[in-house]
Structure 1
Amino acid sequence: MTRRKFLYYAAGLSAVGATALYARGMMGGVMGERGMEPSGMGAGMMGSNTLGAVNNFFNPLHIPPEIKGELRGGVRHYDFDIQEGYREFIRGLNTPTYGINGNYLGPTIRLKQGEEVSLNWQNNLGEATTMHGHGMHVPAIMDGGVHQIIEPGTKWSARYKVNQKACTNWYHPHMMGKTAEHVLMGLGGMIFIDDDESLNHPLPKRYGVDDIPLVIQDRSFASDGSFIYNKNMMTVMHGYHGDTLLVNGTVAPYLEVEANLLRLRLLNASNARVYNFAVAGVKNRLIASDNSFLERAESVGSVVLSPAERVEVVVDLRRVFAKKLYLVDRESGAKVLEIRVNKRAQVRSAIPSKLTTLETINLRKVAKKRRFVLETRGPGRLLINRKRMDPKRVDERIKVGEYEIWEVKNAPMGMGMMKMGMTHNFHMHAGHFRVIARDGSKRKVLPWERGYKDTVRLGVGERVTLLVKHSGYIDSQNPYMYHCHILEHEDAGMMGQFTVEDA
């Protein structure tokens, strides 16, 4: 037995009963609300990574500190130190990490629609990085993408007016060729945006009490406690998969809550793993997707999230006092979080019958159609429209305020019955889109894809139809990005650029 395994057993972790996540072959899949959904690496691809089963949840869930900024001269300022550190994930071992205002991950940023804000990032690492507001509607020069590099010892500020509906976003590095490694080391955190509508809802909204941020990641550890990350061709092609789950940087976490409504904000912050989340034993009510509330809450059996996707789910715990429930990943069979219902309710909350109003989809307004094909054309050649990312090239020029259809396809490798491939997803900077069809069918659009989205999963051979409109910021010189958000794919060049220009 290795020292690492001994430490895991001593801490209450066991790999006994671990479920192979991807060894499902041509017929592999996970059961979603609408039947079989493609598994993590896609039909025909076999994987070797498993998640160890947790039998003893012994660490209280870390709740990231919430910061609301400081008003200075009419602008709300948020100050951040990007830093190196250590974190004891495994008892007695210090893991070298990166963090923001701490040793691993960063605080939850609370923003309010309509406010002028300045997010000030001081880079105290020994290498350059960037900091991207994922899901944020901001000017291109404030996007924090590959062009807004923060050199060691310097500061960069993203200043803008918060101009979007209430939602759950996040922030993470976007350094060309280094995003996967920087996120793996611990750079990232959540952004909660409030608006008048969300603040007036009777939904659970006590941060860390009944409104819980859940940053879910997978990692593997060496015997000295350090993260294992070998960026070989297998990792580049299939993405990094660890064998240990972290929630807010916590191994084997438990959360003590009231017997009340509980709001969970789920973020898949893993490099490549796809999850199928549910709180087992109670009704799961979906209230929000990436960039907005749904118009009405919807009951779901589970929610499939690819990297960077977010949802908000409310579960009713009012009749389960003195019980333990589990957030589970039905893709792997792993338990993610133990929920201990051991407190009496202190407030009343409810899910309103109407959560928000989304813009009506009107395809008669569409001015242009674009097609994007995500494909693999050999080892390490991960392309969009047969092109690899070039930061000096603008691939698409978008007219501000115009509606467009973006058809995005995950092209399989091979022919006929021998089609093979892997899951990709598609993320668009600067705004949001509506998923209006999967493989040409409106009925195949999943419940968590019905709100405003910025990231969408594509199984092998799948095609999604997106309704896109960019408004607010015009800049013909500084581009935004679109890309696969499996981070190793992004780093390998499965990314393109677009500008938003005057109509």
Structure 2
Amino acid sequence: MIRRRLLAALGSVLVLSGCGAVGLSVTPVTVQDFTNELVVPPLAESRVVDGTRIFTLTAKQGRSRFLPGTDTRTWGFDGAHLGPTLRAERGERVAVEVTNALPEPTSVHWHGMHLPARMDGGPHQEIPPGDTWRPEWTVDQPAATLWYHPHPHGVSEEHVYRGLAGMFLIDDDAPVQLPHTYGVDDIPVIVQDKLFDTAGQLELADDGSEPGTLGNVVMANGTVGAYRDVTTERVRLRLLNGSTARTYSLGFTDRRIDLVATDGGLLDAPLSVERVRLAPGERAEIVVALTPGDTTRLRSFPVDLGDVAAPFAMGGNDAFDVLELRAAPELASTPPPSWGPSAHAPNDALDETAVATTRTFELQERTINGQRMDMSRIDEVVTIGHTEMWEVRNALPMPHSFHVHDVQFAIVSIDASPPPPDLAGRKDTVYLEPNRTYRLLMRFDDYPDPATPYMYHCHMLLHEDEGMMGQFVVVLPGMPAAAPAPGVGHGGHHD
């Protein structure tokens, strides 16, 4: 089934290639007027009880006005679409009371968070309709822009696409000189693309196209044609690719940007770049400098997808504006970005000489190492405290990415060469260019649990749902894995 879809997709793009499709696109994005003020998700309220900061979230149905005169059915947390931004300090004990008011089971995965497997929100922690799930853990990782989204088995793509997503910000003790006032000069930007049917309702394409649905309407924080008034000389944009399939190359036509952080936190120093590539699930924090009265637009440029079969059919040639920034006639002074190390930095450091185990993973069709996801099968057993090297390879000329739950990794090399500077920071998700080997260094601290697995998978969510996912458990030295609760697999033919 999967191979037939891939061959059909390749066949169609080869026909277009023969018609002179170089430089063209079969997934163009509609041009917008940028007349709608950017909606900034509110900071989630919380209460502290016996030393634990408690948040509440409710997944519910709603209606959103994306297109003029049309109400679109959507899902959201505490609202019609997307969700509030959760924020906590390193060292805090946190809990989230998640209520499912949807008509079907869902889950909430804390993407990028280091926490116990039973709190991770993967497919083993689904929440039935009407129930409330209360994960609780101690935040213990560097300051970073993380996010939360559903991870129910086989339907993650649909749940995220309908609107279930939000950010989770972590602060720590590192001395930083960065824009930091949320919603003023420190702004979350969740970039997503959507496809609408003739009635103005969200549509997921089911035509065998790769890497999944590539919508023709791009929005920021659920706002189509968004603008943001800026009152400071520099603004920090926390970028999240919240799409299910599309990869972006984000920057500006008229200025460079300072890349200050990636998935897992701050870089060693600001990095001046023209643009940053983000596959689904990846994040980046950038600082943009403006002058009084300035107007500029965050734009997604044609993106280098590597040696894929036909970039023009997979979003590679698409270029479009995402967000307009409008600087006020007078701007508050903002110093250039800089920061120092956290007191935790020595313990957070990864040591390549300490590698105890090397594992290899090959992504092909909808399999990892030749197997499709089975919730009752443990694929890898990791010993607590061990540092490991994971060698990951995308073996087909299709876009894939790789996300590992629980840890933040360092990319040691790509095809035996050091990673480019923009990939030198901590990551939990990485785009895999075809036929290249990525060596990922990671350490598994805390939370042994031989019966509850974490996931690793492609974050192109159609691929994840169709089986491109595996499971690992973290155990004490010498302990075997226990059988997880019975679950649904992805058996069947791969022809």
Q: Give the TM-score band, short-chain normalised.
A: 0.7 to 0.9
1:375 — aligned with what?
364
Partner residue of 2:470?
Answer: 496
User: Residues 435 and 124 of structure 1: is their aligned pair in 2 closer, same or farther, counting only changes over 3 Å?
Assistant: same
The separation in 2 between residues aligned to 1:499 and 1:411, in whole angstroms, is 25
2:390 pairs with 1:406: yes
Q: 2:239 aligned with 1:258, yes or no?
A: no
User: 1:259 Cα deviation (Å)?
Assistant: 4.2
The answer on 1:465 being equivalent to 2:442 is no
5 Å-filtered alignment, 1:37-186, equals 48-54=26-32, 56-186=33-163
- Match of residue 203 from structure 2: 228
Cα 1:347–1:121 change in 2 (3 A) is farther
Deviation digits for residues 170-222 of structure 1 (CA, Å, limit 9, x no counterpart) = 0000011110000010000011101121xx42210011110010000000112
- Of the three residues 197, 204, 208, the one matched with 2:179 is 204
1:271 is aligned to 244
User: What is the alpha-carbon distance in structure 1 between the residues aligned to residue 56 and residue 420 of structure 2?
Assistant: 38
2:295 maps to: 324
1:386 to 361, 370, 383: 370
Cα deviation, 1:53-109, whole Å, max 9, x if unaligned, reads: 22x211000000112511122211101111000001011100000000000000011
Provide TM-score, normalisation by structure 2: 0.86
Aligned residue pairs total: 443
The 1-side partners of 2:184 and 2:330 are apart by: 12
Cα deviation for residue 360 of structure 1 reads 5.0
Contact 2:292/2:331 (CA < 8 Å) preserved in 1? Answer: no
Partner of 1:475: 449
Equivalent-residue separation in structure 1 for 2:372 and 2:329 (angstroms): 53
Aligned residues: percent identity? 39
Counterpart for residue 363 of structure 1: 352
Unaligned runs of 5+ in 2: 1-11, 303-317, 478-495
Give me the CA root mean square deviation: 2.0
**SS at structure 1 position matched to 2:462:** helix
Preserved CA contact (<8 Å) 2:457 2:468: yes
What's 2:3 paired with? none
Preserved contact between residue 108 and residue 149 of structure 2 (Cα < 8 Å): yes
Runs of 4 or more off by more than 3 Å in structure 1? 23-26, 346-350, 353-362
1:315-343 C-alpha deviation (Å, 9 max, x unpaired): 111xx211210100012221111111125
Residues 127, 451 of structure 1: alpha-carbon distance in 2 compared, 3 angstrom cutoff: same
Counterparts of residues 22-37 of structure 1 (less than 5 Å): none
In 1, are the aligned partners of 2:391 and 2:440 still within 8 Å (CA)?
Answer: yes
- For the pair 1:487 / 2:471, whether they are aligned, the reply is no
Question: 1-side partners of 2:251 and 2:200: how far apart?
Answer: 30
Secondary structure in structure 1 of the residue aligned to 2:398: coil
CA contact (8 A) 1:262 1:316 kept: yes
C-alpha separation in 2, matches of 1:178 and 1:410: 23
Structure 2 counterpart of 1:396, from 380, 384, 390: 380
Confirm whether residue 426 of structure 1 aligns to residue 402 of structure 2.
Answer: yes
TM (norm. structure 1) is 0.85
CA contact (8 A) 1:256 1:343 kept: no
* Aligned equivalents of 1:117, 1:349: Cα separation in 2: 33
Unaligned runs of 5+ in 1: 1-22, 29-43, 377-381, 413-420
* Residue pair 1:296, 1:355 contacting (<8 A) in 2 also: no
Deviation at 1:451, TM superposition (A): 1.2
Q: Which residue of 1 aligns with 2:164?
A: 187
Q: Which letter maps to 1:344?
A: E
